[in-house]
Amino acid sequence: MKNILEHSKKFGIYFSTSLLNQLIPFLMLPILTHYLSVSDYGNITLFQTFMAFGIPLISMSLTRQLDKYFFVKDKKFIGKLIFQIFIIFHIMSLILILLLLISSYFIIFPFETYWIYLLIFLSLSTSINLFIAVLLRNLQKTSLYAIFLILQTIINIGLSVLLIVVLDYNYEGRFLGIIVSAFLATFISLYLLYKYKWIEFQIDIKLLLKIWKVSLPMIPFGIATVVITMSDIVFIKEMCNIEMVGIYAIGLLFGKTIMLVQSSVTNISEPWVLKQISLNTSDAVVKISYFIVAYHFVIILLVFIMSYISYFAIDIMVDEKFYQGKEFVFIIMTGYAIRGLQMMFTPFLIYKNKTNFMALNTVFAAILNLILNYYFILQYGAIGAAYATATTFLLSYVSMIIYTQKVYPLKFKRVNSDK
């Protein structure tokens, strides 16, 4: 009973802080849709899309390395691991800056060039912040985790409102709100690492190269993931217009609310799943299997409930010029629900060192998504992008289940003896 209450308390903290963090776009909606035009809102969406491309290039999914070693290595090793990972973050940021310098002679960006450079530093900052959030989660520092996210949220919203409403900075005010809040959070993150002695300022070339080698295949995985989740915005801008990007972004915002529940469950379940896997017993496998099945049923039910509620929420929260966004909600929410279900199988592949399959599967899915986006938008208009995303996630999910069953089969019946 005590364990149940403890897990419930942790889930409540993770859920409430994730809720507040996810509420940022919703809290901003009445202001943004009132003070900004549809095209301005579309520009904000494009800015966040470019940021989403930068984060996986810099982070290389290195938080997975922290998950892999955290429960089996001592604090000194973890501290050294974290320092090597931060070195890699900065190396990747420098590579992006060099690529930007070269590409600026051939590509016309939708914003001033200085915003693109700031986006690289924002992606670096966000990568560090996400990494610290995972560390706090694994340490079960739920209160500190909550304070960390809430403070960033307050700065993000407060500064954005000040710049847009009072100082009339238009969509660039939102850019600055995102950037400043992320930078301040990074400063706090680094302070926490130093205070709690979770970083060892020691270069270990052998460890660094080992991490680099393992994580390098995750770069295409990260990029492909972003292509799947964000290419719809780019296709709509090019094949429709920037105003339709703003409309679609409203449907995308409400459709992705299902991820709020999924991220909260993942924060609690993933460390538990990794621990159960490490036990290597049939009893542990059965527990995991039943948990995953139950999770599937809950998410499917929530898709119908949350999409229905979203239709009314849009009428209340959004200026009427954005009402058309309602037609995208259900399809988008279905797609992201499937994506969340797929992520439940990730710990098994990490444990079995089969991350190459994750990268390969996602790259093929990204290529398929680009093809589907073009033909579906051509055929059905902007909603074709939602169909393309949902179809891609479904096929990727099926592939993940089939492969996982080969390398770490789920079972629903205990055997008499364990391996």
Domain boundary assignment for the chain = 1-215, 217-413
Q: Give dist(CA 288, CA 404) in Å, integer.
A: 13
Q: Give dist(CA 233, CA 126) in Å, integer.
A: 21
Predicted local distance difference test score (pLDDT) of residue 12:
61
Query: Does 185 have pLDDT greater than 50?
Result: yes
Q: Give dist(CA 41, CA 29) in Å, integer.
A: 10
Query: Does 334 have pLDDT greater than 90?
Result: yes
User: In terms of pLDDT, which residue wins out, 324 or 61?
Assistant: 324
Query: Under a CB-based contact definition with an 8 Å cutoff, are residues 235 and 45 in contact?
Result: no
Query: Does 258 have pLDDT greater than 70?
Result: yes
- Sign of the torsion angle spanned by Cα atoms 15, 148, 253, 233: negative
Q: Give dist(CA 87, CA 273) in Å, integer.
A: 29
Q: Across all residues in the chain, what is the average pLDDT?
A: 81
Q: Which residues contact 153 (CB under 8 A, 6 or more apart)?
A: 20, 21, 23, 24, 181
DSSP 162: I
Query: Under a CB-based contact definition with an 8 Å cutoff, are residues 336 and 193 in contact?
Result: no
Query: Which two structure tokens, joined as six digits, stand for 27?
Result: 């809290």
Report the pLDDT averaged over residues 34-62: 80
Predicted local distance difference test score (pLDDT) of residue 20:
67
Q: Give dist(CA 310, CA 255) in Å, integer.
A: 8
- Of all residues in the chain, the percent with pLDDT exceeding 70 is 86
Annotate 343-411 with DSSP letters as a single string. HTTHHHHHHTT-HHHHHHHHHHHHHHHHHHHHHHHHHHTTHHHHHHHHHHHHHHHHHHHHHHHHHS---
Distances 245 to 164, 235, 322, 383, 401 between C-alpha atoms, Å: 20, 9, 11, 11, 33
Q: By CB neighbour count within 10 A (0-12 exposed, 13-18 middle, 19+ buried), where does 301 fall?
A: exposed
Predicted local distance difference test score (pLDDT) of residue 418:
47
Least confident of 65-69, 117-121, 251-255: 65-69
Query: Under a CB-based contact definition with an 8 Å cutoff, are residues 150 and 162 in contact?
Result: no
DSSP 416: S
pLDDT band at 415 (very low <50, low <70, confident <90, very high): low
Query: Does 374 have pLDDT greater than 90?
Result: yes
Report the pLDDT averaged over residues 75-94: 88
Q: Give dist(CA 316, CA 305) in Å, integer.
A: 17
Query: Under a CB-based contact definition with an 8 Å cutoff, are residues 120 and 93 in contact?
Result: yes
Q: Which residues of 374-398 are buried (b: 16+ CB within 10 A; e: fewer)?
A: bebbeeeebbbbbbbbbbbbbbbbe
Predicted local distance difference test score (pLDDT) of residue 368:
92
Report the pLDDT averaged over residues 225-253: 82
Query: Which two structure tokens, joined as six digits, stand for 233?
Result: 């915005």
Helix, strand, coil in percent for the chain, rounding step 5? 85, 0, 15
Q: Give dist(CA 399, CA 345) in Å, integer.
A: 11
Query: Does 333 have pLDDT greater than 90?
Result: yes
Highest mean pLDDT among 112-116, 209-213, 373-377: 373-377
Predicted local distance difference test score (pLDDT) of residue 14:
61
